[in-house]
Structure formats: structure tokens, C-alpha cells
Amino acid sequence: MRLAALLEVVAPDGSVRTQWPYDQIEELDAPDKVMRIGRHRNPVLERIEIFDASFAEAVDALAVHVDRTGAIQRSQHKHAVVLAVAAAAVLLLFAIFALPAIADRMAPLVPTALDRRIGALVEFKTRAELARSLGEDFECRTGRFQRPGRAALMKMMDRLEAAAGLPLPLNITVVRENKKNAFALPGERIYVFKGLIDLADGPDELAGAIAHEIGHIAHRDGTRSILEAGGLSLMFGMLLGDFVGGGAVVTAAQTVLQNTYSRGVEAAADDYGAKLMIKAGGDPHALGVMLSKLGGATEPGMTILLDHPETKARVAAVERVAGDHRPKQPLIDEDDWAALKEICKR
């Protein structure tokens, strides 16, 4: 046997019995210290066993489909890593540039019934997260001490809801949490934390904050955010083997709880909230007061969560919308406001 342009099997008299092209040679199972080779897809059962280690290495170097040294496997691994990095880069670029635009276009087209189904699914995950962090009794419900406050809140909501004229009724939940926060879910769902109620010095300040969240609902911002966050989670989940996208809903719920929107989205909700307060007969300046209170911990020189407009700029925009509009009375009277401040009393 000798190595030439082809692997040649030579008879004792020097004649060539057979020739094997190197690109047709494949390695077969064999005992240790033995190289056993055959011809790829050869209908004739031919095998060659090589016991000389140096000759086996020479065959290994020339045969395309033989990889005793692991060089081909290492090359294939590097190629797979490069492809994976390239795929991740493409997904990242898609997420940064294409996915937000797609979500913007899709959100207004989502039917109301589907929007409510999305909201119900995300709300289930959201409530589970709230129960995990705050306990099962996180919601200020309709207990004996809470009913007057709930009735007062519904008076306020009736005024805002009538002015908003949304296709479906609003549903508001008060959470027994001292953080100063509120967020909106798809399907006309609003969550308000007790800390935000405590922060308000009057009913129109709270109403202004709620009107801002109604703006997110009217603009389908929650649906857009969920489409974007859930879609990104689904894509990366598929890249990593989660083909059912099980993390998409969890990611979407976390996004809603974090309550972070872009500057343009927040500015639009501020504008909507101020105009809604005017339509409802409330004080639109109160929204600016709440924004100042919420941003006070970060002023001067810092922005709210970095992605938000500076607090002063947001307040100035609200003031431009509010103008000289100052109603004589707040949306609910003093007795109702006192009851509302006690809505989470046990």
C-alpha cells in the first residue's frame, strides 16, 4: 500500500490492485491502535486495516472524511460558534430596529377581544408576582373599612371614564404597597399602589396620575410593550431551544411591572392625561404636581429612569396643555377624598 495521487493497494509483484480517491475514504470502527478504512457508499465490501501509526497519520492528513486528530471536529465547532454569534447579532439588530416598529404597527390592529385576552394572561402573571412579593392579601378589596374608599374611588373613575369614552369599561385595582406607582395593562386594567394615594394631597392629583395611565390604555402602550418584549423573548427562547416561548409571558409581565416607556410614549400619555382632566372637569395642573412629586427624588440634573423626559420638561408640557383651566371644585368632595385615603385600612 502506498500514498500517491490516490491511495494504492499494491500486490507483491508491484502491480496496483485498487486505487481509492482520498475524498471517498471514510474511517470505520476498529480496535485501538488500528485504522480501519473503507470507501464511502461503496457497494462492494472492501476494508483496509492499517497497523503502522505513521502511515495511518499520513492517510489521516490526506483523507477528507477521516479525522483521527479531531481537526475537522474543531473546525466544525468553531464554525457553529461563529454561526450562533452571527444569529444572535441578527436577532439583536432586529430587536433594536425592526421589532419596535412592528409592534407599533401591530398594536392598533389588535382586536379588542384579543387585547382583553392578552391583558387577562399578563394580569394573571402580574397578580402572581404581586402575591409572591406582597402576600396573598395584596389587594385592597371591599372589606367593611374599605367599602367607603372604594365607593369614592369609583365616583372618581366614573368621571374619568365618561370623559375618556373608551370602548370598554375600566377596571381599577388598589394594591397594598407603599411604593409610589401605578401601571396599566391591556384590556382596560389599571393598578394603583397605596403609596401613590398617600403621596397625593388632593383627589385631582391622584386623578391626574390615573388619567395618565388611561392615556397608556387609549394608546395601546401596554399591548405594544408586550408585543415587543414577548416577541423578543420568544425569538431568543427559540434560539436557545425554548420553542414554545414559555418565557415570553413572564417577560411581558415583568416589563409591565417595571413600567418603563420611551420618552415619546410618556409624553403622549401626559398630554392625554392633562386633556382628559379638562374634559372630566378636574384640574389638569394636578398632573404636573404629581409628576414633580414623583420626580423630586431625582432632581436636579437627573431624569426619571434615564429613558424618561426630565421631570421639569414633563411638567412644563402639562402646564402648556392646562393653560388657565382651574375648576372650582375637585372631582370628588372632601368626605369622599378622606374615605379614599383610607381605602386600604384593615
Residue 171 lies in a domain: yes
The gap from C-alpha 186 to its chain's centroid, in whole angstroms, comes to 15
Q: Which domain holds residue 238?
A: 109-341
Instruction: State whether 253 and 119 are in the same domain.
Output: yes
Lowest mean pLDDT among 19-28, 55-64, 85-94: 85-94
Q: What percent of the chain has pLDDT over 70?
A: 71
Q: Is pLDDT of 155 > 90?
A: yes
C-alpha grid cell, residue 330: 375637585
In a domain? residue 98: no
Indicate if 328 and 183 belong to the same structural domain.
yes
**In this structure, are 45 and 172 located in the same domain?**
no
On whether residue 317 sits in a domain, the answer given is yes
**Is 288 part of any domain?**
yes
Q: What is the pLDDT of residues 156-203, one digit of tens each?
A: 999 999 999 998 899 999 999 999 999 998 888 999 999 999 999 999
Q: Are residues 307 and 212 in the same domain?
A: yes
* Residues 177 and 298 occupy one common structural domain: yes
Instruction: List Cβ neighbours of 340 (8 Å cut-off, separation of 6 or more).
Output: 149, 152, 153, 156, 197, 203, 206, 332
User: Is residue 237 one of the residues assigned to a domain?
Assistant: yes
Q: Let me know whether 186 and 245 are in one domain.
A: yes
Whether 94 is in a domain gets the answer: no
Domain-embedded: residue 100: no
* pLDDT tens-digit map of 287-345: 999 999 887 544 333 333 334 457 888 999 999 999 999 998 999 999 999 999 999 98
Q: How many separate domains does the chain show?
A: 2
Q: Which helix (H) or strand (E) holds 53?
A: helix 53-62
Residues 162 and 40 in one domain: no
The more confident residue out of 9 and 221 is 221
pLDDT, tens digit, 9 for 90 and up, residues 214-256? 999 998 887 777 766 655 554 444 444 444 444 555 555 555 5
Residues 29 and 128 placed together within one structural domain of the fold: no
Q: Which of 9-13, 259-263, 305-309 has the highest mean pLDDT?
A: 9-13
